[in-house]
Amino acid sequence: MASTVKKTKSVWFCSHCGNEYSKWLGRCPACGEWNTLVEKEVVTGKAAGPMTVPGGSRKPMPLKEVSTTQEDRVSLGSAEVDRLLGGGIVKGSLVLMGGEPGIGKSTLSLQLPLHRPELKTLYVTGEESVKQVKMRADRLGGDSSNCLIFSETDMSAILAEAEEVAPDLMIVDSVQTMYCQHVESTAGSVSQIKEVAAQLLRFAKSTGIPVILIGHITKEGTIAGPKILEHIVDVVLQFEGENRGAYRVLRSIKNRFGSTSELAVFEMTGTGLREVANPSEMLIPMHEAGLSGTAIAAMLDGNRPFLFEVQALVSSAVYGTAQRSATGFDVRRLNMLLAVLERRAGFKLGQKDVFLNMAGGLRITDPACDLAVIVAVLSSNFDMPIPADVCFAGEVGLSGEIRPVSQAARRAVEAARVGFKRIFVSSYTHFDQKPQGIEVVKVADIPALVRALFK
Ligand code: TYD
Ligand code: MG
């Protein structure tokens, strides 16, 4: 029998990675961060209750008897979101949609049901009033006849209503505003967030209703928020991008039912998020040819090759110490690349301010972008523009060597398709088949690159 006696005990959560410990530690053994453990009271003695997966068994069974028919999936009406999820949302799954405030989580999650009115949707809002949601819905257009709005933050009321309504899709905005009465801490605390997610997971699994749970996350990801949920939920979709930029990337960083190397690009417009099915064409600069400080990288983010612009500005430092700033790019990586330029190719950038920007507000992690970063920096430094039909794909190593990147052929093919005439890659790049319609320029190191571009 489940005990009904409530007891509380203290546990320590790492506010960085969400791991739980029974005692305080100075450093989290899981993620290695210092001073991140925070004490929380949690209620014990309350059994979580059985959790059955639809079609699952509560007794061990021979593996060969487990049926492996395709999971039942529901299309959300957005080709890009469906693709990210692996072909629609799986029935009974819990999907966490994380991202910084203002990036478009509420917009996208409301837009989905409005553009797919065949789905009976229950949209639970703990952040905005019903009126505000209605005003947003009016901007987004679509058909709201099958979308129910429920302004509530108490989980027991929400789950009771959800069982009554039995929607095809439930959206909960956001995990930080919901609370469970039996957990004695405020909404948004680690224990509340965990319990809210656990209850939604149980609800999804037992009813087969897919649930999208929205969670705020800060730039560093350090708040006790979605980070601690990543191992509870089935799928994590993360919104990235600069709030000021028009583009947002939705990336799947965990997917129990599909690949995690997918990403989708959206553009924020006056009437909601527009899918950018072909990122290359959107991300290529509108700048006039002949501007220095820009270079085009042939990227592969997720599974899709696309081209986009890297912008750099190098100028003499006004203050004593040179400033280094990067938008959409790791500033430590920028510092490393600048050090390589200085040590291995003799460029004195120590007294220069260097500003780097990834066009469209995208956040780039593909190391193949290094080469375009270096070229953009040098182009700005020499005030020498790069021809508009040239692009770059290469990683730069600590000794100034240019290293090959994954799937160079696919990058070259995409570059050719969009109209580029030359692509710079590492000398060590191997192509099974020579890419058609584009000249491949192989460079071994930075001095060779400089000779080829800035003679
Ligand atoms: P929102 O979806 O509320 O972000 P989140 O839920 O992640 O906090 O809002 C995203 C931003 O987009 C907000 O600043 C307003 C803006 N926006 C538009 O530009 N166009 C639109 O059609 C809508 C609905 C919002
Ligand atoms: Mg919101």
pLDDT tens for each residue of 313-364 = 999 887 778 899 999 899 999 999 999 999 988 888 888 999 999 887 778 8
Stated as kind and residue range, the H or E segment containing 326 is: strand 324-327
Please say whether the structural domain 281-453 has been given the CATH code 3.30.230.10.
yes
The residue among 299, 305, 314 whose CA lies nearest residue 375 is: 314
- For the ranges 32-41, 82-91, 216-225, the lowest mean pLDDT is seen at 216-225
Residue ranges covered by each domain of the chain? 7-44, 73-277, 281-453
- For the ranges 208-222, 248-262, 389-403, the lowest mean pLDDT is seen at 208-222
Between 219 and 136, whose confidence is greater?
Answer: 136
The residue among 164, 176, 173 whose CA lies nearest residue 133 is: 173
Instruction: Ligand 1, residue 239: give the atom nearest the CA.
Output: 7
How many separate helices (H) and strands (E) can be counted in the chain? 10, 23
Beta carbons of 307 and 281 less than 8 angstroms apart: no
pLDDT of residue 317: 84
CA distance 235 to 103: 19
CA distance 123 to 332: 41
Instruction: Ligand 1, residue 99: give the atom nearest the CA.
Output: 7
Instruction: Ligand 1, residue 105: give the atom nearest the CA.
Output: 7
Mutate to test the pocket of ligand 1, among 268, 271, 275 (most ligand atoms within 8 A of CB): 268
Which of 59-68, 77-86, 357-366 reaches the highest mean pLDDT? 77-86
Alpha-helical segments (H) within 241-330: 279-283
pTM confidence score: 0.77
pLDDT tens readout for residues 94-115: 999 998 888 999 999 999 999 9
Which residue spans within 19-88 are E strands per DSSP?
Answer: 20-21, 37-44, 73-74
pLDDT of residue 1: 43
Q: Tell how far the Cα of 220 is from the centroid of ligand 1, in angstroms.
A: 21
Burial of residue 294 (CB within 10 Å: 0-12, 13-18, 19+) is buried
- C-alpha 342, offset from chain centre: 33
Q: Tell how far the Cα of 451 is from the centroid of ligand 1, in angstroms.
A: 47
224 pLDDT higher than 80:
no
Coil, helix or strand for 280?
helix
pLDDT (average), residues 367-387: 94
Beta carbons of 96 and 213 less than 8 angstroms apart: yes
437 pLDDT higher than 80:
yes
Matching fold, domains 73-277 and 281-453: no
Q: Which CATH class is domain 73-277?
A: alpha beta
* Ligand lying nearest the CA atom of residue 136: 1
Dig out the tokens for 180 from the structure.
Answer: 């469970």
CA distance 228 to 244: 28
Any idea what DSSP says for residue 64? G
Cis-peptide into 145, omega within 30 deg: no
pLDDT (average), residues 391-413: 94
Which of 15-24, 138-147, 182-191, 220-229 reaches the highest mean pLDDT? 138-147
Q: Tell how far the Cα of 243 is from the centroid of ligand 1, in angstroms.
A: 9
Residue 68 pLDDT class (50, 70, 90 cuts): low
Mutate to test the pocket of ligand 1, among 106, 107, 213 (most ligand atoms within 8 A of CB): 107
> What DSSP string describes 94-159?
EEEEEE-TTSSHHHHHHHHHHT-TTS-EEEEESSS-HHHHHHHHHHH-S--TTEEEEE--BHHHHH
pLDDT of residue 195: 92
Q: In the chain, what percentage of residues exceed pLDDT 90?
A: 53
Between 26 and 4, whose confidence is greater?
Answer: 26
Which residue spans within 169-303 are E strands per DSSP?
Answer: 169-173, 211-216, 235-240, 247-255, 263-269, 272-276, 294-301
Q: Which residues does ligand 1 sit against, CB inside 6 Å?
A: 99, 101-107, 136, 139-140, 268, 270-272
Q: Tell how far the Cα of 102 is from the centroid of ligand 1, in angstroms.
A: 6
Beta carbons of 100 and 219 less than 8 angstroms apart: yes
Between 90 and 359, whose confidence is greater?
Answer: 90
pLDDT of residue 6: 58
For ligand 1, atom 13: residue with the closest CA: 102
Beta carbons of 314 and 381 less than 8 angstroms apart: yes
54 pLDDT higher than 60:
no
pLDDT of residue 5: 59
Residue 2 pLDDT class (50, 70, 90 cuts): very low
Beta carbons of 396 and 446 less than 8 angstroms apart: yes
Residue 223 pLDDT class (50, 70, 90 cuts): very low
pLDDT of residue 326: 94
